[in-house]
Amino acid sequence: MSDGQQSAGHLALGLPVRETLDTTSPAAWLALDTGVRILAAHPANRLPTRNELRGLPGGPLGPASESRLALALCHPNGRVREAALGRATDAPGLLPLVVVRCADWAAQVRDLARAVLADATGPELAPAAPLILLLSRRDRGGFALRLLERVLRDGPGPDVGALLTHEDRAVCRFAHRIAVDRHLLTPAELARRAATAADVRIQVLCAEAALAGTGADGYDAVVAPLLAARSPQVRSAGVTGLRRTGRHGEAAAFLADRSGLVRACARYVLRQGGTDPLPLYRSMCADPTRHPAAVAGLGECGSRTDVETLWPLTSHQLPAVRAHAVSALCALDAVRPDRIRPLLDDPSAVVVRATVRALRPYAATLDTALLRARLMPDRPRPTRIAALRLLQAQERARARGAYPGP
């Protein structure tokens, strides 16, 4: 028996709604809606009728009557659902089922549910926001979403603020979009949210909004928190913000950032300020121990003249430098498979992964026997995985006719 059937059965026995299902879960309400319809197929289903609904006491409903009304709102008979909607305002806890009925297949039920929901306020709709967003994916599910958006955009700011920390990711994103559009958060608040949010979309949304609302004097409150963020998307926005605040030169500190996106933004800002980043990269690569990612940056903006600087770095003592050197050679289209191949046996997994990426375009030219030898159990796991991936790439090349085979 499914959770929805079980919940429907408990309601039919008279148990209160809040003791029967998790009222904060959109899935629980939808499961109940399905469970009642399954329960209706049994002869002794104990579901309410229209006559029973007429006999419910006037005014706010008690727990037992609320349970009966919940069953009626999910009843397979459209006339019963329609009659139940006439009493829905007497049971505020069943608002989620009114939201469900707003997407009902029966036009009469759907229209009445929408008329009932149309009078709801922001604080009343907010608890049902996860369900509303979930139902908006259905063919007739857009009404409740439009209503929620309208009351949040036109209503008091705290109604939106209450949803900014919601545990449901879709609700949190939805609330942040409205908060940004309504300018409910200051640039400093947006920067802090961008730096601390776990969701990438919220990070980017808040970072862009924070920068759009700041000027040359916004470094401490806006740009600095963005630059200190763990997210590369947020740090890249902060680096771009250096240009807005007239601090182009400070982008040099991010030329060797671990993120390629941040490095690209740093180069852009430096060039906008009249500084060529290439000499800075060459200087850092003279001793890459302090800035391993500078090696990757050199490959991203260097030229063929930098290849001879990069090859010795493939044997550097630091794994990060070796891996970035391999990536830089790829970026400069200077990979020589015979010189790169020994790195398949590198003790660092990150170097081995970079080597696979470098050798994959040349897989058709690699010695098959050499790769198969690296599948043996005595080889380190990263090396075995690398050999397998290159053999698979070799097979694909063979299938395309790029490699005649042994």
Q: Name the phi and psi angles at 348, rounded to 5.
A: -95, 130
364 and 403 share a domain? yes
Contacts of 88 (CB under 8 A, 6+ apart): 69, 73, 94, 95, 97, 98, 113, 116
Instruction: Specify the DSSP class assigned to residue 306.
Output: G
pLDDT of res. 343: 96
d(C-alpha 163, C-alpha 88), whole Å:
25
Q: Is 310 part of any domain?
A: yes
401, 379: one domain: yes
Residue 57: band (very low, low, confident or very high) from pLDDT cuts 50, 70, 90: confident
Counting the structural domains of the chain, the total is 3
Domain residues for the domain of 349 are: 343-406
* pLDDT tens sequence across 360-379: 999 999 999 999 999 999 99
- Give CA–CA dist 203/188, Å, rounded: 14
Q: To the nearest whole number, what is the mean pLDDT of the chain?
A: 93
Q: Which of 86, 119, 152 is the last residue of a domain?
A: 119
Quick: pLDDT tens for 124-136: 999 999 999 999 9
Cα distance between residue 123 and residue 314, in whole Å:
60
- Based on the fold, state whether residues 400 and 313 are members of the same structural domain: no
> Region 311-316: what's the mean pLDDT?
96
Q: Indicate the angle between helix axes 200-212 and 169-181, nearest 10 degrees.
A: 10
- Does one domain contain both 16 and 111? yes
- Compute φ and ψ for 279, nearest 5 degrees: -60, -35
What percent of the chain is predicted at pLDDT more than 70? 98
Q: Are residues 115 and 5 in the same domain?
A: yes
**pLDDT above 90: residue 312:** yes
pLDDT of residue 308: 94
- Look at residue 340 and give its three-state secondary structure: helix
pLDDT digits 0-9 by tens, 24-35 = 999 999 999 999
**Quick check: is 234 in a domain?**
no
Residue 147 counted as domain residue? no
404 — pLDDT class (breaks 50, 70, 90): low
Please report whether residue 105 resides in a domain. Answer: yes
- 287/396 same-domain check: no
Q: How confident is the model at residue 405 (pLDDT cuts 50, 70, 90)?
A: low
Per-residue b or e along 214-231, where b marks 16 or more CB atoms closer than 10 Å to that residue's CB? beeebbebbbebbbebeb
Residue at a domain's end among 334, 355, 378: 334
Q: Is residue 212 part of a domain?
A: no
pLDDT at 146 over 70: yes
Calculate the alpha carbon distances from 313 to 284, 291, 308 in Å.
12, 13, 9
Q: Is residue 406 part of a domain?
A: yes
**Last residue within a domain, chosen from 119, 151, 166:** 119
SS3 135: helix
Q: Rounded to an integer, what distance in angstroms lies between the CA atom of residue 399 and that of residue 381? A: 27
- Same domain, yes or no, for 93 and 4? yes
Q: Are residues 8 and 46 in the same domain?
A: yes
**How far is residue 120's CA from residue 116's CA, in Å, rounded to a whole number?**
8
Burial class (CB in 10 A: 0-12, 13-18, 19+), 329: buried
pLDDT bin (cut points 50, 70, 90) of residue 398 is confident
Find the DSSP H helices in 273-348. Answer: 277-285, 293-301, 307-313, 319-331, 337-340
Asked whether residue 2 falls in the same domain as residue 87, the answer is yes
